Amino acid sequence: MVGLMSNPWQELRNRIQNHPKLDDADRAEILELVEAAESHHHHGLGEIAREIGDSVRRFEASHPQFTETADKILNYLSRMGI
């Protein structure tokens, strides 16, 4: 978790980029949402967080470990107030 504290956005991007079970389309969609969340910070973050949550739930059945990791990251960002 130390890596997340220093740069949670980069850690999230790295995990998504390196996840072996995501296809290119899924990976691109999630990375786009991460970029939007990072660039908007507090502006419209609620909508972005819902979109990320929706995407994560779609992968939950076939990607349980990814879903768990993404959920932890989202909770961490939420606790940071982002």
pTM above 0.85, yes or no: no
> How do residues 23-79 score in pLDDT, each as one tens digit?
898 889 888 888 877 776 655 667 777 777 777 777 777 778 877 887 788 888 888
> One-letter amino acid identity for 70?
A
Six-digit token string for 48: 């972005």
Is the predicted pLDDT of residue 2 greater than 70, yes or no?
no
Q: What domain range is 34 assigned to?
A: 2-80
Q: Rounded to whole angstroms, what are the CA distances from 6 to 2, 10, 56, 69, 73?
A: 7, 9, 23, 17, 13
pLDDT for 4: 44
Go through the chain and tell me how many residues it has.
Answer: 82
Given this model, what pLDDT does residue 49 score? 74
Number of domains in the chain: 1
Q: How far apart are CA 53 and CA 57, in angstroms?
A: 6
